[in-house]
A and B are shown apart, each in its own frame.
Chain A
Amino acid sequence: MERKIRVLVAKPGLDGHDRGAKVVARALRDEGMEVIYTGLRQTPEQIVQAAIQEDVDVVAMSILSGAHSHLFPRVMELLAERGVDDVLVVGGGVIPEDDIPFLKEKGIAAVFGPGTPTRTTIDFIKSNLKRR
Chain B
Amino acid sequence: MSTLARAAPSPEDIAARILRGEERALARLLSALEDAEPWSGAALRMLRKDTSSQGFSHCIGVTGPPGSGKSTLVDKLIGAYRARGERVAVLAVDPSSPFTGGAILGDRIRMQGPPGGARAGDPGVFIRSLASRGRLGGLSRASAQASRAMEAAGYGVVIVETVGIGQSEVDIARLADSVVLVSMPGSGDDIQTIKAGVMEIGDIFAVNKADREGADRAVREIRSMLEVAASLAAGRAPSTSPDTLIGHHAFAPLPRAREAAKDLPPGDHVPPVLKTVAETGEGVSELVAALDARWAKLKVSGELEARRRGGAMAEARALLQDRVLVELEALEGGLEEELAGEIVRGEREAAEAADLLFDSIRKRGGT
- Which chain A residues have a beta carbon within 8 Å of chain B's beta carbons? 1-6, 25-26, 28-39, 42-43, 45-46, 48-50, 52-55, 57, 82-84, 126, 129, 131-132
Looking at A3, A37, A39, A53, which has the most chain B CB atoms within 10 Å of its CB? A53
Contacts of A35 in B (CB 8 A): 102-105
Q: In the complex the two chains form, is A30's CB within 8 Å of B128's CB?
A: no
A-B contact pairs, 27 of them (CB 8 A): A3-B2, A3-B35, A28-B102, A29-B104, A32-B1, A32-B102, A35-B104, A36-B106, A37-B104, A37-B106, A38-B108, A38-B109, A39-B106, A39-B109, A45-B117, A45-B120, A48-B120, A49-B120, A49-B121, A50-B108, A53-B126, A55-B27, A55-B28, A84-B24, A126-B3, A132-B3, A132-B6
Q: Which of B31, B35, B109, B120 contacts A37 (CB 8 A)?
A: B109
User: Residue B129 at the A interface, CB < 8 A?
Assistant: yes
Q: What separation, in Å, do the CA atoms of A48 and B120 have in the docked complex?
A: 9
A3 contacts B3, CB within 8 Å?
A: yes
Q: Using Cβ atoms and an 8 Å threshold, which residues of chain A touch B100?
A: 29-32
Whether B120 contacts A1 by the Cβ 8 Å rule is no
- CA distance in complex: A50, B24 (Å): 11
Q: Shortest Cβ distance from B91 into chain A, in angstroms?
A: 11
For residue B260, which residues in chain A have a CB less than 8 angstroms away from its CB? none
Query: Are B31 and A55 within 8 A (Cβ)?
Result: yes
> Can you name the residue of chain A whose Cβ is closest to the Cβ of B141?
A1
In the complex, A38 Cα to B110 Cα: how many Å? 8
> In chain A, what residue has the closest Cβ to B90?
A53
Q: Which residues of A contact B285 (CB under 8 A)?
A: none
> How far is B108's CA from A54's CA once the two chains are assembled, in angstroms?
10
Q: Which of B6, B102, B133 contacts A30 (CB 8 A)?
A: B102
List residues of chain B with CB within 8 A of the CB of A132: 3-4, 6-7
A39: shortest Cβ distance to chain B, in Å?
4
Q: Is the CB of A33 within 8 A of B102?
A: yes
| Nearest CB of B to A62, in Å | 15
Known contacts A31-B1, A32-B1, A34-B105; is A46 also within 8 Å of B27 by CB? no
Q: Say how far A108's CB is from chain B's closest CB, in angstroms.
A: 21
Task: Produce 1/0 per residue, B32-60, CB < 8 A to A.
Answer: 00011000000000000000000000000
B159 near A: Cβ within 8 Å?
no
- Give the top 7 A-B pairs by smallest Cβ distance, nearest first: A2-B2, A32-B1, A29-B102, A55-B27, A39-B109, A46-B120, A49-B120
Contact of B23 among A28, A43, A52 (CB under 8 A): A52
Task: List the B side residues contacting A45 at CB < 8 Å.
Answer: 117, 120-121
Given A5-B3, A37-B106, A53-B126: A43 touches B117 (CB 8 Å cut-off): yes
At the interface, yes or no: B193 with Cβ under 8 Å from chain A? Answer: no
**In the complex the two chains form, what is the Cα distance from A31 to B1 in whole Å?**
7
Q: Is the CB of A32 within 8 A of B104?
A: no
Known: A30-B102, A34-B105; 6 extra A-B contacts, CB below 8 A, are A2-B2, A29-B100, A53-B126, A53-B127, A54-B27, A82-B24
**Do A36 and B105 have beta carbons less than 8 Å apart?**
yes
In the complex, what's the smallest C-beta–C-beta distance from A23 to chain B, in angstroms?
12
Q: Which of B95-118 contact A (CB under 8 A)?
A: 96-97, 100-106, 108-109, 112, 117
Q: Is B5 an interface residue (CB 8 A)?
A: yes
* Measured CA separation A55–B108 after assembly (Å): 14
Q: Tell me, in angstroms, the Cα distance from A5 to B100 when the chains sit together.
A: 13
**CB–CB A43/B120 < 8 A:** yes
Distance between Cα atoms of A63 and B360 in the complex (Å): 56
List residues of chain A with CB within 8 A of the CB of B27: 52-55
**Is B131 an interface residue when CB atoms closer than 8 A count as contact?**
yes
Residues of B within 8 A of A6 (CB): 31
- Taking the closest CB of chain B, its distance from the CB of A96, in whole angstroms, is 27
B273 contact set on A, CB distance < 8 A: none
List residues of chain A with CB within 8 A of the CB of B127.
50, 53
Bound form: Cα–Cα A35–B4 in Å: 18
Given contacts A35-B105, A36-B129, contact A3 B5 (CB under 8 A): yes
> Which residue of chain B has its CB nearest to the CB of A32?
B1
Give the residues in chain B near A33, CB-CB below 8 Å: 1, 102
Return the chain B residue nearest A25 by Cβ: B104
